[in-house]
């Protein structure tokens, strides 16, 4: 309550944008006072509230993943590799794309099957100028175990992904539910899957994220899509960010 004019602002959490309710004390219901408060309400609606919504919706705050936009630059990655060295986005990229496959971690049996399929097709991707990197928030020991499990030869395995960076890539974060079906403990927090094709200039060509380990993009379909993109010089789509 503002003691100078009796203005009380009440915010109500709703599924639609919050409304600003004003309650006036009885003695302030004169015409001149109402006009004054009307001006203040106009200012609040067009300044304080507008700025609050703009800040929350456009900064990609820590509570929500950020959707990446095709044809725009992706967040910079700099991660260690299980074979030594580092994967640094934009440094020694694939001729046409870097295929970045974010997986949940060693604890996920579906991830292992998924990466086995990717390794099987790895040579075909490489023939088309695609560099393949699998990425997780696992530490080195678990990342090496996954690399061994899938016999990674065409896949480079990066590890130690910071979960704040995972959110910047639009990935969803899950909390541990204990041991998985293969008897491995889930980390306290880990990122859910995502698959991205990034051009050598570090702009996004294709992206897909999941909230669960199921129903991920088929690597066979993705390989066919790469062929189509090369043959037709097909541009990245989903780039429009203007008014609707």
Secondary structure, 3-state, 217-238 = CCHHHHHHHHHHHHHHCCCCCC
> Do the strands 86-88 and 97-102 form a parallel or antiparallel pair, or are they unpaired?
unpaired
Same domain, 172 and 228: yes
Give pTM, 2 decimals.
Answer: 0.75
Q: What pLDDT, on a 0 to 100 scale, did the predictor assign at position 66?
A: 79
Residue 73, in any domain of the structure:
no
Same domain, 100 and 42: no
- Regions of the chain where pLDDT drops below 50: 1-26, 28-29, 32, 34, 37, 39-61
Residue 112, in any domain of the structure:
yes
Q: What pLDDT, on a 0 to 100 scale, did the predictor assign at position 87?
A: 98
Domain residue limits at 35: 8-58
Q: What pLDDT, on a 0 to 100 scale, did the predictor assign at position 35?
A: 54
Residue 242, in any domain of the structure:
no
Q: What pLDDT, on a 0 to 100 scale, did the predictor assign at position 63?
A: 62
Same domain, 208 and 129: yes
Burial class (CB in 10 A: 0-12, 13-18, 19+), 235: exposed
Same domain, 111 and 221: yes
Q: How many structural domains are present in the chain? A: 2
| CATH assignment at residue 222 | 3.40.30.10
Same domain, 106 and 207: yes
Structural contact between residues 200 and 96, judged by C-beta atoms closer than 8 angstroms: yes
Residue 239, in any domain of the structure:
no
Same domain, 24 and 126: no
Same domain, 19 and 117: no
Same domain, 142 and 217: yes
Structural contact between residues 178 and 186, judged by C-beta atoms closer than 8 angstroms: yes
Residue 126, in any domain of the structure:
yes
């Amino acid at each position: 309550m503002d003691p100078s004019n009796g203005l009380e602002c009440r915010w109500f959490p709703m599924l639609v944008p919050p409304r600003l309710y004003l309650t006036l004390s009885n003695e302030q219901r004169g015409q001149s006072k109402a006009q004054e408060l009307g001006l203040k309400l106009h200012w609040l609606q067009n300044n304080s509230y507008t700025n609050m919504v703009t800040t929350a919706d456009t900064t990609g705050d820590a509570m929500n993943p950020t959707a990446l936009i095709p044809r725009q630059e992706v967040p910079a990655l700099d991660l260690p590799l299980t074979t030594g060295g580092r994967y640094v986005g934009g440094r020694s990229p694939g001729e046409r794309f870097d295929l970045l496959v974010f997986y949940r971690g060693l604890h996920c049996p579906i991830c292992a099957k998924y990466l086995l399929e990717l390794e099987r097709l790895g040579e075909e991707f490489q023939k088309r100028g695609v560099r393949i990197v699998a990425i997780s928030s696992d530490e080195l020991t678990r990342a090496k175990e996954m690399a061994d499990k899938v016999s990674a030869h065409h896949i480079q395995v990066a590890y130690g992904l910071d979960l704040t960076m995972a959110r910047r890539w639009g990935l969803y974060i899950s909390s541990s539910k204990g041991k998985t079906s293969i008897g491995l403990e889930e980390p306290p927090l880990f990122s859910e899957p995502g698959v991205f094709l990034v051009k050598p200039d570090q702009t996004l060509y294709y992206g897909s994220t999941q909230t669960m380990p199921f129903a991920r993009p088929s690597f066979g379909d993705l390989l066919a899509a790469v062929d189509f993109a090369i043959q037709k010089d097909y541009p990245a789509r989903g780039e429009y960010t203007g008014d609707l």
